[in-house]
Amino acid sequence: MSNLLISWQGPVQPAWVDYNGHLNDAYYLVIFSLATDGLMERIGLDGAGRKATGHTMYTLEVHLNYIQEVHEGVMVEVRTQILGVDAKRVHLFHSLHRQDDGTLLATNEQILSNIDVSNAETGPKTAPFAPQVAALLLPLAQAHAALPRPANAGRSIALPVPRK
């Protein structure tokens, strides 16, 4: 989808590959974390923005779905869709794709909270997004609101409880 934000691109690094010869499960989340950093840069919460506002974002919840294995050196990209936003939080959906053919490899859904880290006495506290951040985040969320909801969004994890 052309309206999705490409939030990270790069090759699968040799150090990320496990004994099975494919991307280790933990490194999928590393890639998605880098993509979240890419989103933060896009909305003004890069290093300079964090310093200027005294704000950052903390991850509150993560859901990760492995769709297909990926091997060392494969060029991948993360496409990001904002599913929801309020004054202090953002609900996002990342999808990991092969760059060459767009094959879906994994999905990652996150809830992030805006955190004010500027007060050393009180420590980190949730806070509304700074106006300059909201001014970049809200139009992105509005543009993404018209997109279809990803199939894996909102999934839960469970197995049936064995009955006696």
Question: Which CATH number fits the domain that encloses residue 134?
Answer: 3.10.129.10
Instruction: Say if 81 falls within a structural domain.
Output: yes
pLDDT in tens, 64-84: 999 999 999 999 999 999 999
Instruction: Say if 41 falls within a structural domain.
Output: yes
Instruction: Say if 164 falls within a structural domain.
Output: no
Instruction: Say if 123 falls within a structural domain.
Output: yes
Predicted confidence (pLDDT) at residue 123 exceeds the cutoff of 70 = yes
Instruction: Say if 130 falls within a structural domain.
Output: yes
Instruction: Say if 150 falls within a structural domain.
Output: no
Q: Within 10 A of 64 (CB to CB), how many other CB atoms are there?
A: 17
Look at residue 1 in the predicted model and tell me its pLDDT: 45
Report DSSP letters for the chain, one per residue: -TTSEEEEEEEPPGGGB-TTSSB-HHHHHHHHHHHHHHHHHHTT-SHHHHHHHSEEEEEEEEEEEE-S---TT-EEEEEEEEEEE-SSEEEEEEEEEETTT--EEEEEEEEEEEEE---TTT--EE-PPPHHHHHHHHHHHHHHHTSPPPTTTT-----PPPP-
Tokens of 42: 């896009």
Print the domain residue range for 17. Answer: 5-145
Predicted confidence (pLDDT) at residue 164 exceeds the cutoff of 90 = no
Is the model's pTM score more than 0.85?
yes
Q: Domains in the chain: how many in total?
A: 1
CA gap 130, 115 in Å, rounded: 10
